[in-house]
A and B are shown apart, each in its own frame.
Chain A
Amino acid sequence: MASNELFRKTLIQVRELLKHNKISPEDLLTVCQHRMRETSALNYFTNAVEKHDPLINSKIDLPLKGIPFSVKDNFYTEDMPTTCASLMLENHIPEFNATVVEKLHAYGGSMMGKDNMDEFAMGSGGCESQFGPVRNPWNYSELEVEGNDDFYVAGGSSGGSAAAVAAGATFFSIGSDTGGSVRVPAAFCGVVGLKPTYGALSRHGLVPLCNSLDVPGIFTRSVADSAFVFNILKGRDINDPTTIKQQIPNSRVKPEEDVKGMVIGIPKEHYIDGTHPDIRAAWDKAIKQFDDAGATVIEVSLPNQEYVQPCYRILCCSDVAINLAKFDEFEYGRRARHGEFKEELNYLSRDYGFSEKVKRRIAAGNFFLLEENKEKFINKALSLRRMIRGDYAKAFGAKDSSVSPFASTSGPLPCDLLLTPTTSVTSPLHSSFTAMADLDGTEGQDHKDLVGMPEVDYHVTGINIAGIPAISVPVGLSTNQHGHEMPIGLHLVAWEQQENKLFRAAKFLEQESNFHHWVENH
């Protein structure tokens, strides 16, 4: 086989080739390095690994031996900068590996680089990085040919991780998902993005955004790949007290999956204005496919959906204010050159080191946390969180202590999965995203950052609040007003620790949709 075609394979496919000695780990490395150089303009890495472990050719058979991967730059990597795409941590070199990184190394994987991201994982476009925005591989070269310096955004905050996998520089990558940060870029870049159950994967060594919502996520080019990496990474970590104590069963994906007998819920609150017609059509098509395949499709209700964003913003900003307090040049972070007193140095360093957006979230968080605001914000957000989780528990027919005793227990048929679009739009051009997110702040007070962007986060954020797993699967393409085809992602949601159901239905969608990652000009 022509080695330059290798990067188009999936993880499972190259593993087979490696196993039967059709290719060597070195071949893979060379192909991916070549691909990295070819697509370097996409800016998906903050730092690339220069020296590779000579052990990749060792005789020991390891599940990920020689398989190139990359990790979002908010995961600690020993002896390699971990910047969170912030000036604050420009030269921050950790002395240990995050647990997920440690596991990937132990299983023989070969790290290619650290993925570019929105600063401290705050953002949904992948544009707010001190290293410059991540560019979506889709239609990138076409725009370049047209002499257009605009580009499609990769989505965020794990934009680099999605783009690296979509571009073929790595076979899988690790991102982090706090309010949709894995699933949104997966949908924008046409790859599979898994957000596991909270606590299924260790957060040890992940620089936190919101501790009670963060979870490492997985980007791959196929559902089977996603299950394969998930099986490796899941499990209790003594360094993370929030990891799930019980054994999580391995998920297996059959070459052909059927969904006969499954109950698929369609939450009525997720039909929203402004959904792109192609996305709506893809959703309807998937519903029909499930129905035709013998699944029962029912309508369900998530009545507290409208409170998802306020709840998320309060919890997230409050944690941000606290988690970033240590970056004060005194404990961590870069020190301003001027400034005589501790307070002045502190102020100057933080003022220089953090972007406007980060500063706004810190200020908002400190405001929410004030004693006088506690009842109005934090306590409200905490009860909203229980109500939102309760909605999902009810839809899945799960017994859960957080479900309000007043909620009716005799709901409709308990669902196995919920199905919605991942985003309401396909990846926008950088110029329109900037306007949409009001990144230049022209709208002043009414800043999008504190209210969310329904176009991208409406369907995904509630999942983090509920702590349950979800997956975004690319199912087709939508032609936009510029005549460019951009991927569409559908979003499957399951109750906690039921990733196996996610993979089964996602595999079904994958085989039905026959989505192609590699199209012309991509």
Chain B
Amino acid sequence: MNRWFPLIGLEIHAQLNTKSKLFSNASKKFMATPNSCVARFDASMPGTLPILNRKAVELAVATSYALNCQVALKSSFDRKHYFYADMPQGYQITQQRAPLAKHGFVDYLSESSKMKRVHIHQVQLEQDSGKSLHDEKEGLSLIDLNRAGVGLVEIVTSPDIRSSSDACSFVKEVMKILQYIGSCTCKMEEGEFRVDANVSVSADISVMGTRTEIKNINRFKGIKQAIDYEITRQIKILQEGGKVVNETRGLTNSGETVSMREKESAYDYRFMPDGNLPYLILHTNESIGKAQHKNAINVDEIRSNLPTLPSEYRRRLQNEYPFEKDIIDFMLENKMAEYYLALVAHRPQVDRMLTFDYIRVHLLPYLERKELSFDECPLKSNDLGDLMYMTHSYQIDGSICNKVYQEALDTNKSPVQIIKENGWYKISDETMLSSWLDQVLDEVKQQSPDLLVFPPKRRKLETAVKKLTSHVIGRIAIISDGKAHAKLMRMIVKKRLDMLIDEQREEQKSSGASS
């Protein structure tokens, strides 16, 4: 039985997070009334010209740098021809000859927690197409141009991926990167992020087999389904002595891939430079002074303003505490890392896991409900750090913590202030707590010494200990005016009583042995 080596390359299409389209000022909205977001240019009205969206270029440049690419200071636009009714110009504007960026890479953590690298072949700006809708009942074909002309970055990888699970881990990492820099919200369910997968298998690891392209995978699960299905299908063909046909395939709802074009010949897009668009010229710190217009884009500025990327957060979180991969992924996916790291930097004494859990269980659902990001969280990381610190160091009772947290969110007061105002500070000094315990135990010894005799005569041991504990703690509460930290006190009382019981047992043993 042969071993088969799959090889996978991806083309990712991510809609740029801009208010308007790539070449027109029509707005970009998901689920808007059909054809309500269409400028004259989007409808290819003769004589209208494309005006490049500056924000889209900035986002694409940021994306390129985040993917470790080299950004070209001079790139150009080409026309790629299709005859589809939802492509009203008869062509898509893309960057074939001179793309915006090339030669990048993305490091990602595979499912087996191994660091792997995918090379990025190129990053290019291009237009999205419109949508055709078919009303079979009425026998009508309808066109919605709302999506026509929306800006995309196409990210083309080298064929570096060997399995569907690596493909998924890589795509997840890219999604995180785009979300972190704000270039795409990556909502696959809204069509903002789509993947084409090129898949081939070969019996020889050093040779690439004939590949097929599965186009337009628009759900995350589909990536794994499509690749797995295609690998199995191709292996089966090869094992039976057949040949894989180089073709475009689509993914069905049931997770199978099907051939999309009847003809085997490759489609000729007849690429041609777009005469309506001048070269896209970008500037550096050195050349920006010579730029001819105030809208010139400085790539150095974009690069230095890049936010911290998920890979950097992952490194910092790992240095901070040996969290498991799942926890780090969770933190990254929920964009919690920055908040968490700031909190820990402010209060290094807090318990790492307890703090993570508190954020996960309390703060995250709250933010999700209010549709806020961690940046916008009314409870600043320092304040939550203070609260966590005071809780973990027994300065307040655990039961009070939630109360303070809630009040801090409701009133915008700092936890320290709330605790102070309410006098919720507890005494956690062990010497102090022990001396109160001594005092109470003396009381008991004088008033009802029977209670301190173990094993008790009339009751079970457990019942007796329980009763004594609650009595002692009740008394300490009175003596300390409620300032003794309840949990810590309980621990000290238990320890002392255990000790007492053990002592008496030893005594009885030795006296029994001697008698």
CB of A451 closer than 8 Å to a CB of B: no
Q: Which residues of A contact B371 (CB under 8 A)?
A: none
CB of A268 closer than 8 Å to a CB of B: no
Of the listed stretches A28-36, A239-247, A272-280, A435-443, chain B binds: A239-247
* Nearest neighbor of A374 in chain B, beta-carbon distance: B271
Q: Which residues of B contact A475 (CB under 8 A)?
A: none
- Pair A242/B88 contact, Cβ less than 8 Å: no
The number of residues on chain A lying at the interface, defined by a beta carbon within 8 Å of a beta carbon of chain B, is: 41
CB of A319 closer than 8 Å to a CB of B: yes
**A212 to B90, alpha carbons, bound, how many Å?**
18
Which residue of A75, A96, A242 is within 8 Å of B49 (Cβ)? A242
Contact A204-B48, Cβ < 8 Å, known A322-B81, A370-B268, A371-B270: yes
Which residue of A326, A330, A331, A370 is within 8 Å of B270 (Cβ)? A370
Return B74 CB to nearest CB of chain A, in Å.
10
**A95 to B43, alpha carbons, bound, how many Å?**
13
- Pair B47/A204 contact, Cβ less than 8 Å: yes
- Pair B270/A246 contact, Cβ less than 8 Å: no
Q: Which residues of A contact B79 (CB under 8 A)?
A: 322
Return B202 CB to nearest CB of chain A, in Å.
27
CB of A206 closer than 8 Å to a CB of B: yes
**A213 to B276, alpha carbons, bound, how many Å?**
10
- Pair A245/B85 contact, Cβ less than 8 Å: no
CB of A470 closer than 8 Å to a CB of B: no
Taken residue by residue from 346 to 385, chain A's Cβ proximity to chain B (1 for < 8 Å, 0 otherwise) reads as 0000000000000000000010011100100010001000
Contact A331-B49, Cβ < 8 Å, known A241-B276, A322-B79, A369-B270: no
- Pair B276/A211 contact, Cβ less than 8 Å: yes
- Pair B90/A241 contact, Cβ less than 8 Å: no
Return A211 CB to nearest CB of chain B, in Å.
3
**A330 to B88, alpha carbons, bound, how many Å?**
9
**A98 to B269, alpha carbons, bound, how many Å?**
31
Contact A207-B47, Cβ < 8 Å, known A366-B270, A378-B272: yes
- Pair B275/A211 contact, Cβ less than 8 Å: yes
Which residue of A207, A212, A342, A382 is within 8 Å of B46 (Cβ)? A207
- Pair A331/B276 contact, Cβ less than 8 Å: no
Give the interface size class of chain B.
Answer: 20 to 34
Chain A residues numbered 250-281 whose CB sits less than 8 Å from any CB in chain B: none
- Pair B49/A319 contact, Cβ less than 8 Å: no
CB of B83 closer than 8 Å to a CB of A: yes
* Nearest neighbor of B143 in chain A, beta-carbon distance: A330
CB of A188 closer than 8 Å to a CB of B: no
- Pair A326/B292 contact, Cβ less than 8 Å: no
CB of B273 closer than 8 Å to a CB of A: yes
**A378 to B96, alpha carbons, bound, how many Å?**
15
- Pair A325/B89 contact, Cβ less than 8 Å: yes
Q: Which residues of A contact B47 (CB under 8 A)?
A: 75-76, 94, 98, 203-208
* Nearest neighbor of B293 in chain A, beta-carbon distance: A245
CB of B394 closer than 8 Å to a CB of A: no
Q: Which residues of B contact A330 (CB under 8 A)?
A: 85
Q: Which residues of A contact B90 (CB under 8 A)?
A: 322, 325-326, 328
CB of B180 closer than 8 Å to a CB of A: no
**A144 to B47, alpha carbons, bound, how many Å?**
39
CB of B289 closer than 8 Å to a CB of A: no
Chain B residues numbered 36-87 whose CB sits less than 8 Å from any CB in chain A: 40, 43-52, 79, 81, 83, 85
Which residue of A96, A205, A326, A370 is within 8 Å of B44 (Cβ)? A326
CB of B170 closer than 8 Å to a CB of A: no
Tally of contacts, chain A with chain B, CB under 8 A: 90
Taken residue by residue from 318 to 332, chain A's Cβ proximity to chain B (1 for < 8 Å, 0 otherwise) reads as 110011011010111
CB of A153 closer than 8 Å to a CB of B: no
Contact A371-B275, Cβ < 8 Å, known A241-B49, A246-B292: no
CB of A210 closer than 8 Å to a CB of B: yes
Q: Which residues of B contact A206 (CB under 8 A)?
A: 47
CB of B449 closer than 8 Å to a CB of A: no
- Pair A241/B91 contact, Cβ less than 8 Å: no
Taken residue by residue from 6 to 46, chain B's Cβ proximity to chain A (1 for < 8 Å, 0 otherwise) reads as 00000000000000000000000000000000001001111
Q: Which residues of A contact B46 (CB under 8 A)?
A: 76, 207-208, 323, 326, 332
Return A94 CB to nearest CB of chain B, in Å.
8
CB of A238 closer than 8 Å to a CB of B: yes
* Nearest neighbor of A240 in chain B, beta-carbon distance: B49
Return B418 CB to nearest CB of chain A, in Å.
55
- Pair B268/A371 contact, Cβ less than 8 Å: yes
- Pair B275/A238 contact, Cβ less than 8 Å: no
- Pair B49/A322 contact, Cβ less than 8 Å: no
Q: Which residues of B contact A210 (CB under 8 A)?
A: 275
CB of B205 closer than 8 Å to a CB of A: no
Return B52 CB to nearest CB of chain A, in Å.
6
- Pair A325/B270 contact, Cβ less than 8 Å: no
Q: Which residues of A contact B51 (CB under 8 A)?
A: 238-239, 241
CB of B245 closer than 8 Å to a CB of A: no
* Nearest neighbor of B41 in chain A, beta-carbon distance: A239
Return B45 CB to nearest CB of chain A, in Å.
8
Return B278 CB to nearest CB of chain A, in Å.
6
Contact A212-B50, Cβ < 8 Å, known A366-B270, A371-B270: no
Return A401 CB to nearest CB of chain B, in Å.
10
- Pair B89/A369 contact, Cβ less than 8 Å: no
Q: Which residues of A contact B342 (CB under 8 A)?
A: none
Chain A residues numbered 77-129 whose CB sits less than 8 Å from any CB in chain B: 94-96, 98
Return A485 CB to nearest CB of chain B, in Å.
39
**A359 to B330, alpha carbons, bound, how many Å?**
60
Taken residue by residue from 147 to 173, chain A's Cβ proximity to chain B (1 for < 8 Å, 0 otherwise) reads as 000000000000000000000000000
* Nearest neighbor of A75 in chain B, beta-carbon distance: B47
Q: Which residues of A contact B81 (CB under 8 A)?
A: 322, 325, 369
* Nearest neighbor of A326 in chain B, beta-carbon distance: B44
Chain A residues numbered 185-234 whose CB sits less than 8 Å from any CB in chain B: 203-208, 210-213
Return A96 CB to nearest CB of chain B, in Å.
7
Q: Which residues of A contact B141 (CB under 8 A)?
A: 342
CB of B277 closer than 8 Å to a CB of A: yes
Which residue of B83, B271, B273 is within 8 Å of A325 (Cβ)? B83
Chain A residues numbered 169-184 whose CB sits less than 8 Å from any CB in chain B: none
**A319 to B91, alpha carbons, bound, how many Å?**
12
* Nearest neighbor of B49 in chain A, beta-carbon distance: A240
Q: Which residues of A contact B270 (CB under 8 A)?
A: 366, 369-371
Return B312 CB to nearest CB of chain A, in Å.
37
Q: Which residues of A contact B48 (CB under 8 A)?
A: 204-205, 239
**A382 to B44, alpha carbons, bound, how many Å?**
25
Chain B residues numbered 264-321 whose CB sits less than 8 Å from any CB in chain A: 268-278, 292-293
**A374 to B276, alpha carbons, bound, how many Å?**
20
Return B291 CB to nearest CB of chain A, in Å.
10
Q: Which residues of B contact A371 (CB under 8 A)?
A: 268-271
- Pair A331/B268 contact, Cβ less than 8 Å: no
* Nearest neighbor of B89 in chain A, beta-carbon distance: A326
Return B142 CB to nearest CB of chain A, in Å.
12
Q: Which residues of B contact A204 (CB under 8 A)?
A: 47-49
Return A190 CB to nearest CB of chain B, in Å.
30
Q: Which residues of B contact A374 (CB under 8 A)?
A: 271
Interface centre among A212, A246, A325, A378 (most CB of B within 10 A): A325
Contact A318-B272, Cβ < 8 Å, known A96-B40, A239-B49, A239-B51: yes
Return A217 CB to nearest CB of chain B, in Å.
16
* Nearest neighbor of B79 in chain A, beta-carbon distance: A322
Which residue of A203, A212, A325, A328 is within 8 Å of B91 (Cβ)? A325
**A325 to B270, alpha carbons, bound, how many Å?**
13
Subset of 24 A-B contacts with CB under 8 Å: A75-B47, A76-B46, A203-B49, A204-B47, A205-B47, A206-B47, A207-B46, A211-B274, A213-B275, A241-B51, A241-B52, A241-B277, A241-B278, A242-B275, A242-B276, A242-B278, A322-B81, A323-B46, A326-B46, A326-B90, A328-B90, A331-B85, A342-B141, A370-B270
Contacts A211-B275, A322-B79 supplied; 12 other A-B pairs, CB < 8 Å: A75-B47, A94-B47, A98-B47, A203-B47, A204-B49, A213-B275, A239-B48, A240-B49, A242-B49, A242-B278, A326-B44, A371-B269
Q: Which 4 A-B pairs have the closest CB atoms?
A: A325-B90, A212-B275, A211-B275, A369-B270
